[in-house]
Structure 1
Amino acid sequence: MSLESDPDPKPTPTLHCVFLTGVTGFVGGTILSRLLNAHPNVHVKALIRKESVAQELQSVYPNLTPIIGELSSLSLLESTAAEADFVIHAGGDNVSAVCAMIDGLASRTTTGPPMPRLISLTGPRSLIDLTNPITGNLRADSRPWSDITDAHTILNVPEDRIHAGADQAIIAHSTAKGVGTILVSPGQLWGRGKGHLKKESNSAFYYATVKNRGRAFMIGEGTATWSWTSIGDLGDAVVFLMEQALKSGSENHGQIGVNRDGYYFVRTGDLSMIERATAVSDRLGLGNVESVSVDAAREIHPFGPIMWGCGERTRSDKLLELGWRPKETDWKALMEEEGGERA
């Protein structure tokens, strides 16, 4: 079946084999599930470390062929990608691994401009300028980032920022090899994972920490705001982009941007830290939210200041132009989905 948000639902007859990484994780597992829901006959090759896990996933997904190896198995990644119609990488920032898969895709003879062949998951933390102090507050000069009007700026931020160096290296290698790569960048992810294995993200960590402390917390005034989407909508968006990329016919050719024009945000709404903390506090009956210092947040978790004290608002203008729309728009319902304790 095609996604409901596809404005021109068509089968994608060229889609025979998709190679996925990260399928045991929260994001990759959801993408695997959404892909096979949308295309039950597609042959999926999935990179998996352990035979026991591979057997478990095969029992759930009969069309899955495990590729036993790791992201460091570069020759294996290259040869497997060379046999795939499309590659989806959900295994984190790993330039060597993604470049090996690009090399595999490049081994096929192609003519004309680079066709979209690979989606790599990234994130908007590359937009955070850590030369500014972390205050927990929305900066007066803050503005939403558009993946249309700000596309080239996003891929030119200092490479020492989170995700930025990897994003830039992957795009440079794709361009050099003549392979079309799409970077998919969600903000905060809400809801329960749709894959077979990992069901929760780090949003469950904040909830558990609040429960243990007996009080919800934020940094500063808590007005720092992240854009968010549901994990299910992210999975659907990835499949939607792959479908659009593989559509045949000249009327579709060129609509999907790749490489320097291939950065896509996935966004449903915006949510401040004070809203999140208040929702948890209300649910647990804990009273007022506590304001903590950056150092105190770092003591709770080394990455705490960025998770709870920073924020960037994004706009998924490219996906909206293509006709994609999020389906799950109630973040509080996602917070409690299937009895979940997440925020």
Structure 2
Amino acid sequence: MATKIFLTGATGYIGGEALYSIYQAHPDFEYTLLVRNEEKAKLVSGQYPNAKFVYGSLDDSEVIEKAAAAADIVVHTADSSDNLPSARAIAKGLSSGHTDEKPGYWIHVCGTGMLQWFDWDNDRYGQSPLPEQKYHDIDDIERITSLPHHAFHRDCDEIVLAANESSGVKTLIVGPPLIYGPGRGPVNQRSIQAYNMAKFTLENGFAPIMTGGGSPEWDNVHIQDLGKFFVLAVDAALDPEKRNNPEIFGPHGYFFLEHGTHSWRGLATQIAEEAKKQGFIPEAKTQEGDYKRYGANSKSVAVRARKYLGWEPHGRSLTDEVPDIVASEAKSLGK
């Protein structure tokens, strides 16, 4: 029988790329996709004519429970890091539809925004990272899985991690950092953070930097390298050796995916310079202010995916992508 995949977020940036990548590797799988309505389904069905659809929002727990119970593998990307009802519904559905002898596998997307918690708690916006703010996803796994409850995304993570205590549920959490590059999904192919910074720069004539005197840092990964990870994670769920490895599925199955590191100050400077180079602003100007979204540190070290799944990123760097980011945002603004 064909492997059954239940995926949320097919019309989104991450979910669209996940669906594209998994489908390219496994066109023979049976895909069930959660979308809001038939209009959304039409946007997806042209690219995936054999996909099945279930309709509802992330709050429609019964719909999600039923689909999760029937699936071999759930790939949850739609507001997955923050929507509690959908996480609870997936946990309940997988548990009701599977047993310890034949478990259901849950690939859950979180995000490294959770690692900003220390700067938030200590009002360190705009400051450079401290050594202890770096999280290695093997050596520091106990620190990662026991972050404060109030850390960003942590409440959803707790639901996913606890699901491993239920009969028939095995989980894998993937926490990508800033994602960039054009997606290959059927609807949304645009990321947010760097793109919004470019849009702000084009609209205001300067790139934003958080006041604080330091240089906050984040990590980044190309969307297509994230897509490759989804394929490896799905393949691991089908591999008898890997699916029974507690370092892949279970409370320790927490994967970061950094490929490069950027400072928000450095990225703002490059975007301003590129916007001037392309003729959209008169000077390569940056300006400090209360831009907290670019003011906290998130430092992840991605070793687990490389060690246990053989993941190797090959997408071009964020630095190399910036000219296209600026150009695409200018086009969307009609410049």
Whether 1:43 aligns to 2:30 is yes
Instruction: Report the TM-score, using the length of structure 1 for normalisation.
Output: 0.85
Partner of 2:165: 175
Deviations along 1:246-296, whole A, 9 cap, x unmatched? 113x477426533321111111111111221121111112545434232xx
Whether 1:154 aligns to 2:144 is yes
Whether 1:277 aligns to 2:268 is yes
SS for the counterpart of 1:223 is coil
Partner of 2:298: 312
Partner of 2:154: 164
SS for the counterpart of 2:172 is strand
SS for the counterpart of 1:226 is strand
Partner of 1:235: 227
Any conservation in 2 of the 1:102–1:177 contact (CA below 8 Å)? Answer: no
SS for the counterpart of 2:44 is helix
Partner of 1:210: 201
The offset of 1:110, in angstroms, is 2.6
Stretch of structure 1 that moved more, 168-177 or 273-282: 168-177
Structure 2: segments with no counterpart, 5+ residues: 277-281, 331-335
The offset of 1:15, in angstroms, is 5.4
| Counterpart code for 2:215 | T
The match for 1:126 among 114, 119, 133 is 114
The match for 1:293 among 285, 289, 292 is 289
Stretch of structure 1 that moved more, 135-144 or 308-317: 135-144
Structure 1: segments with no counterpart, 5+ residues: 1-13, 298-304
Partner of 2:11: 24
SS for the counterpart of 2:122 is coil
| Counterpart code for 1:19 | F
Any conservation in 1 of the 2:100–2:168 contact (CA below 8 Å)? Answer: no
SS for the counterpart of 1:169 is helix
Whether 1:73 aligns to 2:60 is yes
Deviations along 1:99-151, whole A, 9 cap, x unmatched? 22222222245336x95600110011222221111332213445421111111
Question: How many angstroms apart in 1 are the aligned matches of 2:166 and 2:70?
Answer: 20
Partner of 1:3: none
Change beyond 3 A, Cα 1:222–1:290: farther
Question: How many angstroms apart in 1 are the aligned matches of 2:57 and 2:93?
Answer: 16
Partner of 1:7: none
Question: How many angstroms apart in 2 are the aligned matches of 1:116 and 1:312?
Answer: 31
Identity of counterpart residues, as a percentage? 25
Partner of 1:144: 134
SS for the counterpart of 1:107 is helix
The number of residues matched between the two structures is 317
Question: How many angstroms apart in 2 are the aligned matches of 1:42 and 1:176?
Answer: 26
Any conservation in 1 of the 2:43–2:186 contact (CA below 8 Å)? Answer: no
